[in-house]
Amino acid sequence: MMSPAATRTGVLDATALLTELLTVPSVTGDEAAAVAQLTSRLAGAGFNATIDEAGNCVARWGDGPVDVVLVGHIDTVPGTIAVRREGTMLFGRGAVDAKGPLVAAICAVSRQPRSGRHRYTVVAAVDEEGDSRGARALLGRTAPDHLIVLEPSGWDAVTIGYKGCIRIRLGVDQPVHHGASGSPSAADRIVGVITALRGRADRHNQGQRIFDQIDVRVTDLASGGDGLEEWCRASVAIRVPVGVPAGDVLAQLALWCGDHVTLAVDWRCEAVRRPKSTHLASAFVRAIRNGGGTPRFKVKTGTADMNILAPAWGCPAVAYGPGDAHLDHTPDECIDVVELEQGAAVLTAVLAEL
């Protein structure tokens, strides 16, 4: 049961709510307990909160014609971090990525009038650290007027772009050849494909900023054999910028693989970059400035559910949330509760202006 400390005179308290949410582990693939807890809490706070078929918590507020969707994620990477306060810092897995931004948005929405021009939908999505099953389940709904993806940008910054991602598996199975035969080994064939891919990336990356570069990382590599047959397997993650379609990269990879190397695609999403001239982005600039900050726009080399939703919906979109993204996935993950409240205040002002 949620602690009554999560409310003060009927208003959701961000620090208390986040503390409670951190105490329930929600590693990707095992989010059900945290989703159920949050859904119950939000229903008790006046939201129309339900769990959809994908396992997302979907909480609705307001009944106006202007549709604002705020999508965060409740799943986390593995790793237990004791939930604790040290001064103003609140530690716990998911404090930054991304339960903190999610809680800031929930509190901001709860401060909006129930009746007016707007209706708000807050989604605590599952599987963002996996294959974005939670976000993909939202694609069938009507596109909203505004999309805010809840990821850490820092309370005084707004993210407008993410790289795309391709995750592939390469494989070779072949008869063993004598070492002096001149025939490439299974490992040689895999290394050859990766070398060609890195060469393609190096040529593209000349003179490019980091966000506009192609990044290639081998995440797993193994080989073996029984004296008659040999094999090699590799997993590779490729980050692609705007202007480099994932399909083009995969087509080139297929040519390099030829008939000898198998290619399997585990995941792909295109890069996304949204304009900073929209009314939504401008509202964040004003809210941050009015809160005493100097607004900044960011682009990130990772991916988020914004890659899935923004291109499909075509509406104004940004990613925003309190917290230091450099602490994502680290053993020291924590968020400053002062910044958490600042982020909630910015979101409150943005939603009021929209």
Phi, psi of 209 (to 5 degrees): -70, 160
Beta carbons within 8 Å of 145's beta carbon, 6+ residues apart:
66, 67, 68, 315, 316
Contact 69, 315 (CB under 8 A): no
Catalytic residue among 13, 20, 31, 75: 75
User: What is the 8-class DSSP label of residue 26?
Assistant: -
Q: What spatial distance separates the first Cα and last Cα of the chain, rounded to whole Å?
A: 34
For 243: left if phi > 0, alpha if psi spans -120 to 50, otherwise beta; the answer is: left
- What is the sign of the dihedral through the CA atoms of 234, 239, 244 and 246? positive
- Measured N-to-C along each axis, helices 337-353 and 14-22 cross at an angle, to the nearest 10 degrees, of 120
- For 283-295, letters b (16+ CB in 10 Å) and e give bbbebbeeeebeb
Give the torsion through C-alpha atoms of 256, 206, 329, 31, to 10 deg: -50
Residue 266 falls in the annotated catalytic set: no
Secondary structure percentages of the chain, helix, strand, coil, to 5: 35, 30, 35
Report helix, strand or coil for 298: strand
Catalytic residue among 128, 151, 328, 333: 128
Residue 202 falls in the annotated catalytic set: no
> Which positions are catalytic?
75, 128
